Amino acid sequence: MIKLVVSDIDGTLLEDGGHELNPELFEVILKLREKGMQFAAASGRQWASIEQVFDPIKEKIFYLSDNGAYVGCHGRQLFVNPIDRSLVEELVKDIRKAGLTVMVGGPDVAYMENPDPEFEDWILNGYKFQAKSVADVLAVDDQFIKVSAYRKTDIEGHTKELREKYGDRLKMTISGDMWLDCMATGVNKGAAVKLLQESLEIAPEETIAFGDQLNDIEMLGQAYYSFAIGNARPEVKAAARFQADTNVRDGVLKILKLLV
């Protein structure tokens, strides 16, 4: 029996940066809960952004945000994994040198460094982050759980040197075509799912998970019923046991309706 449903958001439930889910998904999640199944949204997004997306049922789900660096639920922080401050400082300086946009995430606020108006509007009104614009993210007095480098396209091709330099000191993952997300070593969506499973006494064989990007692969590995959606990267399809329809065709919703 399935006891835990975990899904990525961008590219899986929504188009990247979107925030309006099919309302039927909320109804289905509530029906699954009535049958004893928990739902967790796992995303590179901040918890506040996840909460906005799932607002009608925000008190009924778990948040695995910042690629697993934050685990919580509405009004309650359960687990946070910060990055060493000196490592953050070194990485931010190198992201600047690479000519990429830098954003650092605290447990509750994301800090954008000198963002252009389009980027700032996208973060605040597209992703609906709790975010602040600052002149220097390294002057912020907060603990950081994620450092992100942004580029409009081909972030993977423009961060090769960063990944080679820091790959053994940070968990670095490509999220879509625009983001490189960096967390403390050992942090990923799969580790967050495992933490939740152990807390709820739920086995991987009782878990179903959905994803589309490289940062979803560890998460899929924590679920026997692992689904890559139709628009997923080839590496994700290879890692998953099953395949669902695309995000724009409500692939996740179609599978979940079979569980109701």
Residue 242 has pLDDT above 90, yes or no: yes
Model confidence at 19, in pLDDT bands (50, 70, 90)?
Answer: confident
Same domain, 208 and 244: yes
pLDDT in tens, 150-171: 999 999 999 999 999 999 999 9
> Are 167 and 239 in the same domain?
no
CATH number for 17? 3.40.50.1000
Res. 133: pLDDT tops 80: yes
d(CA 16, CA 233) in angstroms, rounded, equals 14
Of 184, 210, 237, the last residue of a domain is 184
| Residue 255 identity | I
Task: Identify the DSSP state of 246.
Answer: -
- Cα(38)–Cα(44) distance, integer angstroms: 20
Beta bridge partners of 147: 104, 182
Same domain, 19 and 144: no
Give yes or no: residues 194 and 75 share one domain.
Answer: yes
Nearest of 244, 250, 186, 242 to residue 218 by alpha carbon: 186
For 195-204, how does the pLDDT look when each residue is reduced to its tens digit (9 = 90+)? 999 999 999 9
Helix, strand, or coil here: 256?
helix
Point out which residues pair with 182 in neighbouring strands: 147, 172
Q: Give the helix/strand (H/E) hosting 198.
A: helix 189-200
pLDDT at 20 over 90: no
Say yes or no: 67 and 107 in one domain. no
User: Does 18 score more than 80 pLDDT?
Assistant: no
Q: According to the model, what pLDDT value does residue 240 have?
A: 98
**Residue range 99-111: mean pLDDT, rounded:** 96
The whole-angstrom separation of Cα 260 and Cα 89 is: 48
Reading across the β-sheet that carries 4-7, which strands appear in turn? 76-80, 70-73, 62-65, 38-42, 4-7, 207-211, 225-228, 242-243
Residue 175: predicted pLDDT:
85
Residues 76 and 192 in one domain: yes
* pLDDT tens profile 42-78: 999 999 999 999 999 999 999 999 999 999 999 899 9
Which of 54, 47, 45 lies closest to 75, judged by CA? Answer: 47
| pLDDT tens by residue, 204-218 | 999 999 999 999 999
Question: 191 and 72, same structural domain?
Answer: yes
Task: Express as a percent the part of the chain with pLDDT over 70.
Answer: 100
Q: What is the CATH classification number for the domain harbouring 168? A: 3.30.1240.10
Q: Do 191 and 168 share a domain, yes or no?
A: no
pLDDT for 34: 97
Q: Which helix (H) or strand (E) holds 118?
A: helix 117-121
Which residue type, as a one-letter code, is found at position 118? E
Averaged pLDDT score across all residues of the chain? 95
Same domain, 89 and 67: no
Three-state DSSP at 166 gives helix
Specify whether 107 is located in the same domain as 136.
yes
Same domain for 166 and 221, yes or no, is no
Our count of domains for the chain comes to 2
Give me the domain span that covers residue 244: 4-80+187-259
Categorize the per-residue pLDDT at 88 as very low, low, confident or very high, splitting at 50, 70 and 90: very high
| Percentage, residues of the chain above pLDDT 90 | 94
Contact at 8 Å (CB) between 239 and 212? no
Is a pLDDT exceeding 90 seen at residue 229? Answer: yes
Pair (70, 125) in one structural domain: no
